[in-house]
Chains A and B, each alone.
Chain A
Amino acid sequence: MEHATAGSSFAALAYLVAGVCFILALRGLSSPTLSQRGNRFGMIGMTIAVVTTLVTHVPMQAVGLVLTGPSGVVSATGPLFARIDFVTVLEILAAIGIGAVIGITTARRIAMTDMPQLVAAFHSLVGLAAVLVACAAFLNPIAFGIADMVIPMIGQPFAAIHGVSRIEMGLGVAIGAITFSGSVIAFLKLNGNMGGKPIMLPGRHVINLAVLAAILLLIAYFTQDQSAWIFWTITILSFAIGFLLIIPIGGADMPVVVSMLNSYSGWAAAAMGFTLHNSAMIITGALVGSSGAILSYIMCRAMNRSFISVIAGGFGAVADTSGGGDKIDRPWKRGSAEDAAFLMSQAEQVVIVPGYGMAVAQAQHVLREMADKLKEHGVRVKYAIHPVAGRMPGHMNVLLAEANVPYDEVFELEDINSEFAQTDVAFVIGANDVTNPAAKTDKTSPIYGMPVLDVEKAKTVLFIKRSMGGVGYAGVDNDVFYMDNTMMLLADAKKMVEDIVKSLD
């Protein structure tokens, strides 16, 4: 990289163009109409970055006495006896091909309800790729242009890695490893291979802080001593801390966790970009890092919780014992599908409030059918989305889009909350805590201060729930269940909506 040849300045320029394409890719997501074009910018940027790297780093094979120089560039060594190593070229192309087949097949087959798991799995791959790149750079630093050969008075010549590069590598491998193991746990929780309940280890805060401190100290020590054991210890400890950080976090806090891991995967790419002096990687890393951080912030704000309290974990682990007894006895009304169909068909406006339960029951398609039937009856139908409904940011929007719900019928919390007072029927399907008025009134409630959808202001609330026994994720009872104008529809969400559709005919 130290050679300011025409080739390397062309490469630097190409990487910059790739970085700009990535900015445009995110910019496109400001509206659904421009978004496909944005995605294409992303693909163009990636193609530029990959082709530039392939062209400037053609694998070379040394013939005779010639040493392959930094980055495999022939001019770096001068002599004539180097030829293109076609076997390696084929291996690289095969590696890209294998990845393409697996990636495209997965992307085509995945169900939209499984999107959170897929994103978590993809994050883990970015993390692991970052770890592999950092390890490769540690094992062959000359190829990355981050070391000088040192020939000591006694002993073998070795590659001394630059001090700054050691910090960058250490941070890169640590963040990458945390992203990997954290995402694997998030994937297992989201995919149901592991219980959604938080797993609490005794003294976990002390353990976590000690491990984090050890990683940072080792990275600092790594600048003084580039022994292999330090590098591998950093890697192993980072895998461990990623695991330890995510296991105590419960299922419904996953939107924050997935966003946070998204952010980490970006910072890992940025750290490796510093090591390689590559502007495309640095720009992308910064974009992805800030994107994930902003999403985490939005999710935390929507739950009125601090980032620290989410990371500390354990929310919802303690069953609500205070006054659980008297709540069970409170009177509530049960309705049937026919009642619900009648009420909604007479309404002027129905607002549907979907939650994670809709995703679990796969009820989005039949819900859209119900909305179509209601529209035939002259009812105005809108959807109200709470930012943390579901298991990842925007989860509900994607499911509704999949079911062909036009996006201009779907509203965010702040845009629709004032409308509940003029709404005849609020139809809650698979959501609970996000409708709980205790968040506004009860200072002792664990969800106090969280912005909620004001469903209780509607003339009638229809609340689909599997049974009266279970409480929401936060472990608190919901007063909406016991209101005079609430009708509980106790059944599986999909089954209930199917019955309502039949009754609407």
Chain B
Amino acid sequence: MDFVAILSIFVMACFVGYYVVWSVTPALHTPLMAVTNAISSVIIVGALIAGAAAGSASSKWLGLLGVVLASINIFGGFAVTSRMLAMYKKKDRPAPAKH
């Protein structure tokens, strides 16, 4: 892909992001932060490439450390989002017994 092609994807994605995020209900802004945090860990792709590449031992170890950090985020981010979202309940449904 040439630079202009990726720049186009980027600019379009910014617009998509703008409209999608404005439609998020304010009550879910904390889960929104948690899930955006999880998906921004897609940076793991770069860490995996570095970890898998031969040629530089230091680059490989930096990559592996990056994989650990990004994985903490991916698993932690999605798990905590899911935990939060499970708590949002409507009035009509009888709430499960607690306490």
Contact = CB atoms under 8 A, between A and B. Distances in A.
Interface of A: 1, 12, 15, 18-19, 22-23, 25-27, 29-33, 35-36, 38-39, 42-43, 45-46, 49-50, 53-54, 57-62, 68, 71-72, 85, 88, 91-92, 95-100, 102-104, 106-108, 110, 112, 115, 118-119, 122-123, 125-126, 128-130, 132-133, 135-137, 139-140, 142-144, 164, 258-259, 262, 265-266, 268-270, 272-292, 294-295, 298, 365, 369, 385, 387, 392-395, 397-398, 401-402, 404, 406-410, 412
Range of interface residues on B (Cβ < 8 Å): 35 or more
Given A68-B54, A140-B59, A406-B89, A395 B18 contact: no
A464 B53 CA distance: 60
Nearest to B74: A46
A287 B20 contact: yes
A98 B91 CA distance: 40
Given A119-B34, A280-B45, 14 more contacts: A26-B20, A29-B31, A39-B82, A57-B53, A106-B80, A115-B84, A129-B47, A132-B62, A143-B53, A265-B40, A270-B10, A282-B6, A286-B11, A287-B36
Nearest to B78: A43
A100 B68 CA distance: 8
Given A42-B35, A72-B53, A122-B73, A281 B78 contact: no
B6 A279 contact: yes
Contacts of B38: 42, 46, 122
A259 B33 contact: yes
Interface string B21-56: 111111111111111111111111111111111111
Contacts of B32: 26, 29, 291, 295, 393-394
A371 to B, nearest CB: 12
A32 B37 contact: no
B12 to A, nearest CB: 8
Given A88-B60, A130-B43, A58 B52 contact: yes
Nearest to A98: B68
Contacts of B22: 294
B1 A140 contact: no
Contact of B63 (A123, A136, A288): A136
Contacts of B26: 298, 385, 387, 393-394, 397, 412
B29 A397 contact: yes
Contacts of A133: 43, 46-47, 50, 62-63, 66
A23 to B, nearest CB: 6
Contacts of B44: 49-50, 53, 129
Contacts of A50: 44-45, 48
B79 to A, nearest CB: 4
A269 B40 contact: yes
Contacts of B58: 139
Contact of B76 (A12, A106, A281): A106
